[in-house]
Amino acid sequence: MAVRDTDSGGQVHEADVAVIRPSSAGTTVPVWVDRAGRIAPASPGALDAVAVGVVVGLGITGAGGLLLVLAWTSLRHAVEVRNAAAWAREWETVEPEWSGRHR
């Protein structure tokens, strides 16, 4: 919908804005303007801030959880490799006595 407004200096401005419901000519339509007097999007409300906060919080929590899982998996793998090497060395010593073969 095309709207027209007059700033404090008496200059007339025209712009296209989206309106929620149909309005007839001459109806007052509230709009947000920036410091230069151009039509701007409305400021986010309290609910918008809460929604963004929740989304960011969930994102950070998910990223932190993923980082912890990756660190735990890497550490577990490193310990398993070390244990396997230690068990192989020990088996080389124990196996000849266990099987009855001596070197």
Instruction: Give per-residue pLDDT as tens, 57-102.
Output: 999 999 999 999 999 999 999 999 999 999 999 999 888 888 887 7
Residue type, 17: V
To the question of pTM greater than 0.85 for the whole model, the response is no
Cβ neighbors of 23 (< 8 A, separation 6 or more) are 1, 29
Angle at 84 between CA 80 and CA 87, to 5 degrees: 135
CA–CA dist 44, 49 (Å, integer):
7
